Structure 1
Amino acid sequence: MRLWHEALIPHLPRAQLLGQHRECAALRGAGWGRPHATVNYVFRHPRYLLYRYHLLIMQEMQKRGYRPNAQWLASEYRGKSLPAEQMETVETQSSPVYPEHDDAYLAECLQNLKNKGIEIDINHTDGTQAV
């Protein structure tokens, strides 16, 4: 379980992008607060930040022609089996959404992808990936 560095979102291969949507949905739902070493930092922030990050994932999905369930576009939606829950809106223009997504984390994510046989050059402006 991992949230990829925000700078990687436009460059993620299909499988990783769609997997990220599933991870966000799981964390927004029953997975909220369940410890996992790779994503524990998410729980130290307002849940609204996870919603904002998930929006970035869904926007990229839509750019690529995927149609995520529109219910996930509502901040209070937590999945089919959980009741909707209002959350406090956090006004922030920060990018990346999570301060933990710094240069060191970007390097860690790039290495993780490389270990999977995926090499990404985030300097490509056309959205292609270098392999």
Structure 2
Amino acid sequence: MRLWHTDLIEFLPRGQLLSQWRELNSIFAKEDQHILINYIYEYPKDDLYIYTEKVMAEMTKRGYKIRAFDKMNNYFSDLVEVEEVTPYEHHHNKEYLEICFYNLKEKFIRGQKDYEELRYKELCDYVESRF
């Protein structure tokens, strides 16, 4: 279980993006605890809401259909007004960007079937511009 670095959502291959939506729904349903995501509970729900919106926007941009919003709507039902924030700004830092990049790089090198070369090149160009 992982929430990919916020800045990398647009570079995720299809499998990782769709898995991100499943993982978010698991958090919405059970407030999962996992070593790689426990930090999210240190932040206001606004962060997760904005992160979720970014994932949904990327899915919509790629033409993926989101069928169910029940768990998400229930999870965020107590939010009255969402503050525009940079999600998880202390955890989604340069080091975490690098960790996520190398994870995605390995998936590409190992031949993940849905990882298009152009998307990987765009990821590399983005990461290179940040370092």
TM-score, normalised by the number of residues in structure 1: 0.74
Q: Distance in 2 between matches of 1:28 and 1:6?
A: 18
Q: Distance in 2 between matches of 1:62 and 1:101?
A: 23
What whole-Å deviation, never above 9, does each CA across 1:26-47 have from its counterpart, x for those lacking one? 11221x1x32110010011122
The code of the aligned residue for 1:111 comes to Y
Cross-structure match for 2:102: 111
Change (3 A) 1:122 1:6: same
1:76 aligns with 2:67: no
| Conserved 8 A contact 1:61-1:67 | yes
1:29 aligns with 2:19: no
Cross-structure match for 2:45: 47
Cross-structure match for 1:91: 83
Q: Deviation at 1:112?
A: 1.3
Give aligned pairs, total: 115
**Runs of 5+ consecutive residues of structure 2 not aligned to the other structure:** 110-119, 127-131
Change (3 A) 1:29 1:63: same
What whole-Å deviation, never above 9, does each CA across 1:38-69 have from its counterpart, x for those lacking one? 00100111223212211110110000011113
The structure with the largest helix share of the pair is 2
The percent identity for this pair of structures is 37
